[in-house]
Amino acid sequence: MDIKEYQVKTDSQKVNHPWEDARFKVVFDIIEKQIINKIENKDKAAITIFDIGCGDGYFLEKLAKKLPNAQCLAIDTAFDDEIIQNFQEKYKSFNIKFYKSIESIDLQNVKADIVLLLDVIEHIEDDVEFLKSLYNSSFITEKSKIVITVPAFQSLFCSHDTWLGHYRRYTVNSLQKHLLEAGFRSKLDGYFFFSLLIPRWLQVKKEKKKKRDIDKVTGIGDWQGNSLTFKLIVTILYLDYLFSKVLRFFRIKIIGLSCYSIGQKQ
């Protein structure tokens, strides 16, 4: 969850959105198959993971449960001292450290196996320059994998994007292009969550007729629903991903509301 969405409710009220859970399942499947299972001559659990733009830490909490020996560094420029203190206490049973910036980390002898940029670079005005700065960072090596997810299709840009501070939405081709300009090559990419395209398209059509008040947007931080609804939505979205994965095996590619890429230094 984006920190802006996280701050919509008090801690006692916070309930993560099923989309976040489904996205975790999708990204972990990609990471496990394409990265973790291919790591050689190393304890596969003892890896170093940077989550840049980590938001409320929900993703890393779930990832740390899957990889209990992994070293997880959570970075978000929206953090203040109070948030960091709260998160360190909340996640004290996990190997997760929280930071305001990359510069505040002691990077001596630290090399990243995985760098997560999950729905992050759309928030950055010059995303290519940001990716170039990562390329030149000491913790990025030729073996580091950059895992990126972003919202797809500029035509679906709506009030939620504006409220969150998004500069753009992407296609797989534009994401590839931006990675290449920064010095990375995309080793694997695609779309996911085809089933969410129509609801978003309807939202965009509705907003064209009646502009939505940005001040009334709360994002997924205001989601309300019971556990049954949560599980049902997560199941539907993950089956959506698995279906597109099966089609990909037969060289049939379908679009979705989000796209992803695994990048690596050229």
* Helix-, strand-, coil-residue percentages of the chain, each rounded to 5: 50, 15, 35
d(CA 178, CA 212): 31
Give the pairing of strands 114-118 and 48-52: parallel
Q: Residue 86 CA to chain centroid, in angstroms? A: 22
Convert the pLDDT of each residue in 51-86 to its tens digit.
999 988 999 999 999 998 899 999 999 899 999 999
What's the rounded Cα separation, in Å, for the pair 216 and 252?
A: 40
9 has pLDDT over 70 = no
> Is residue 94 a contact partner of residue 72, using CB atoms and an 8 Å limit?
yes
The answer to whether residue 196 scores a pLDDT higher than 90 is: yes
| pLDDT-derived band at 208, boundaries 50, 70, 90 | confident
pLDDT band at 212 (very low <50, low <70, confident <90, very high): low
**Structural contact between residues 258 and 153, judged by C-beta atoms closer than 8 angstroms:** no
Bridge partners of 48?
71
Q: What is the model's pLDDT at position 201?
A: 95
Tokens of 23: 């996205």
What is the Cα–Cα distance from 210 to 203, expressed in whole angstroms?
10
Return the domain boundaries, the chain.
3-265
Mean pLDDT of 240-256: 95
Q: Structure tokens of 94? A: 């996990």
Buried b (16+ CB within 10 A) or exposed e, 199-234: ebeeeeeeeeeeeeeeeebebbbebeeeeeebeebb
**What gap in Å lies between CA 194 and CA 131, rounded to an integer?**
27
Yes or no: is domain 3-265 CATH 3.40.140.10? no
The per-type count for the chain, helices as H runs and strands as E runs, is 9, 7
pLDDT at 5: 53
**What confidence score (pLDDT) does residue 25 get?**
97
- Looking at the whole model, is its pTM more than 0.85? yes
Long-range contacts of 171-179 (CB under 8 A, 24+ apart): 171/259, 172/259, 172/261, 175/148, 175/150, 175/259, 175/261, 176/261, 178/121, 178/127, 178/128, 178/131, 179/131, 179/146, 179/148, 179/261, 179/263
Contact 138, 75 (CB under 8 A): no
How do residues 102-154 score in pLDDT, each as one tens digit? 999 998 889 999 999 999 999 999 999 999 999 999 999 999 999 999 999 99
